[in-house]
Structure formats: structure tokens, C-alpha cells
Amino acid sequence: MRFDIPAMKPADRYKILASAITPRPIAWVTSQSAAGGRNAAPYSFFNFFGPDPATIVLGLMARPDGTLKDSDANILETGEFVVNLVCEADAQAMNLTCIDAPPDVDEITLAKLEVVASDRVAPPRIVTAPASFECRLLHRLTLSAAQTLMVAEVVMAHVADAYVLDEQRCHIDTGAMHLIARVHGAGVYLRSGDTFQMDRPVWKDVAGNPGK
């Protein structure tokens, strides 16, 4: 079946794309207004886009009434935020922070999150997150009245000691972090426990062994 995406309503485009492009990692974003009001919210239009500069991107949709979400407004004001990754143990707390609370509500307090000061940006990071990335905004792209993209540089990474296998070689025990990911529908998530390994092909091996 074909779906003529540009001809469809945005809500239907969302259903097709967000249900197919899965699993998506979740950025649990902590941010702060210029006046210091704290905020936490999950964003699964999120990924890592390359190491030089260390780039992450977030996709933020406006609220149904057209106003900016608090994370968007805070990042626009300050240019800073922290991406905290979400482990299974934090799933309920993460879910609570997606609540459609008014801007003056601090979801960090609401969800009883333990936070500590970041090193290079003003918003705090979440202590229970297996990894947190302090970010500075590089570009904010307004794609429409309904959608913005934040392109940001990671200026400091924190990985909980328990998951650092070899500090010198920068090896991390990804499986042990038990990260969750967003799948389809309103509330379906994936656990990250089922992996398999495949080595990358190397041309000289393949070319030297035609037919294999």
C-alpha cells in the first residue's frame, strides 16, 4: 500500500512515520528558562548525527494551540539543555514528565527526580540516567509553525561509572544500561535486551574471494 505523505493530514503522517521509524531513543531533556524555571520532558525525535562537532538533533512539535513547548521555549531563550538517557528503572518517572503541565510547573520536582548541577550548562542533569549529555544549541530550524529542529553540540558527557568498561579506550557497557526506546502508538516502548552481531564486510576480503 502507498501513502501519499504530502497529501495527508499531519496527524496521519505522524501515525505512519512514527509507527514505522522505530525504535527511537528517548532524550529526556532537562532545560531551564532564563529566569531559572526548571523543566524536564521526553523527546524521541532524537539522535546522534556525528562526532565532529559532536552533534545531536531534537525534533519539537508545537502544542495543539500553536504555542511552543516549554523545552523549545527554554532552549530558544538560553541555548542550553541536557539530554539524559532513559533506563527501564526510570520509565515511570520519564512518562510522568511528559504531562501537559503549565509552564510554571517544574516536572523535576513533580516526578521527584534527583538532579545535580551540570558542568558547562545551566540546566541540571538527572542522577539516575545512565548517561547525560550537556548540550549547546548550534542551530534552531523553524520548519513550520508546528515544528522546530534543534541541532546542538554535546559539550560534556557523563556516563555512570558502572557502565564504563574501559575509560582509556572509551568502551561503554551499552547493554547494562537497560535503555528503553519509543516504538509505535501512544505508549509502547522497547527494552534493549535482544542484540545480535554482524561484522562489517571489507572489500579486499570480498574481492579476493569471488562468489563468496
Ligand X SMILES: Cc1cc2nc3c(=O)[nH]c(=O)nc-3n(C[C@H](O)[C@H](O)[C@H](O)COP(=O)(O)O)c2cc1C
Residues of this chain that interact with ligand X (CB under 6 A) are 26, 39, 41-45, 59-61, 69-71, 95, 98, 100, 182
C-alpha–C-alpha distance, residues 207 and 204, integer Å: 5
Query: Cβ 37 to ligand X, closest distance in Å?
Result: 10
Is the distance from CB of 208 to CB of 201 less than 8 angstroms? Answer: no
Considering the complex, what minimum distance in angstroms separates the CB of residue 138 from ligand X? 18
Which of residues 60 and 113 has its CB atom nearest to ligand X in the complex? 60
Of 66 and 210, the one with the shorter C-beta distance to ligand X is 66
Q: How far is CA 81 from CA 24, 55, 74, 104, 163, in A?
A: 20, 13, 8, 17, 23
Q: In angstroms, what is the minimal distance from the CB of 61 to ligand X? A: 4
CB of 112 to ligand X, least distance (A): 16
Q: What DSSP string runs through 29-50? A: EEEE-TT--EEEEEE-SEEEEE
Peptide bond into 23 cis (omega under 30): yes
Q: Which is nearer to ligand X, 171 or 191 (CB)?
A: 191
Q: Considering the complex, state which of residue 70 and residue 80 has its C-beta at the smaller distance from ligand X.
A: 70
- For residue 48, the tally of other CB atoms under 10 A from its CB is 13
Q: Provide the 10 A C-beta neighbour count for residue 202.
A: 9
Measured between alpha carbons, how far is residue 73 from residues 28, 69, 95, 119, 186 in Å?
16, 6, 21, 22, 24
Least CB distance to ligand X at residue 31 (A)? 7
Q: Closer to ligand X by CB, 150 or 172: give it.
A: 150
